[in-house]
Amino acid sequence: MPLVRSILFTVAFYLVTAALLIGGLPLLATRRSVIWLAQTWGRIILRLLDAIVGLKVEFRGLEHRPAGGVLVAAKHQSALETLALVTVLDDFTYILKRELMWLPLFGWYLARSEMVAIDRSKGSRALALMNEEAAAAMADGRRLIIFPEGTRRAVGAPPAYKFGVAHMYDRLGVPCLPVALNTGVFWGRRRLTYRPGTAVIEFLPVIPPGLPRDTFLTVLQERIETASDALVREADPSAAATTGRPAQT
């Protein structure tokens, strides 16, 4: 039964996504309308996930979201947080791989919504370009979402925080909103089935601007990993903890 429900959800996911991508083409006229479409898409998918799989998403710590521009640094365990975060963050901008911009239809929406794309082939120049685009987004008061580890990490895997997030925090001079979660327990990497239950995405207290880069990266990792470990154990007491592993610099 879990496999059947997972297949049904996957089919529904792609049908809804395709319908919105095609039907929403007129909305490419403005960035605001594309952001609205993305938030609508996220809400529909979360409802389908609940109705078909029995997997709900609970948001905690919403009161920690500050007004105005902020760097949102989130743990990344699955695709679930990618679509869930947009439903509770107004005027968001993701930092993502430039290759995603090349996807048919989907890439058009990413480009029109002015996401910050990273071209890894450009080396150190990519970091400078990323900071320029991020600064422009922050000047508009957007919520800049970044996954500090750069890619999805399996539950229990050692953390691998990259120094890029600390560099951006320092250059932008803005507060950072850490986000912990346990989504990987229910929607794992390269897993065919989704698990029913309640996945939690928790916004933690803001880290103020002005910390030294090394200090910031240490604080960020400790906060996110400690809270994520607690959420994972809440969902699955047998899961391994990851807290305390050194950050990559």
Per residue in 134-147, pLDDT (tens digit) is 999 998 999 999 99
What token pair was written down for 94?
């993701």
Please give the mean pLDDT across all residues of the chain.
Answer: 91
**How much is the pLDDT for 127?**
76
**How much is the pLDDT for 237?**
83
Amino acid at 224: I
With cut-offs at 50, 70 and 90, classify the pLDDT of residue 242. Answer: low
10 Å CB burial of residue 128 (0-12, 13-18, 19+) is exposed
Please, what's the largest Cα pairwise distance for the chain? 51
Please state the pTM of the whole predicted model. 0.91
Distance CA 194, CA 53 (A): 7
**How much is the pLDDT for 240?**
58
Tens digits of residue pLDDT in 198-234: 999 999 999 999 999 999 999 999 999 999 999 999 9
Tens digits of residue pLDDT in 150-163: 889 999 899 999 99
Interior angle at CA 219, CA 189 and CA 115, nearest 5: 55
Going 61 to 67 to 73 to 76, the CA torsion angle's sign is: positive
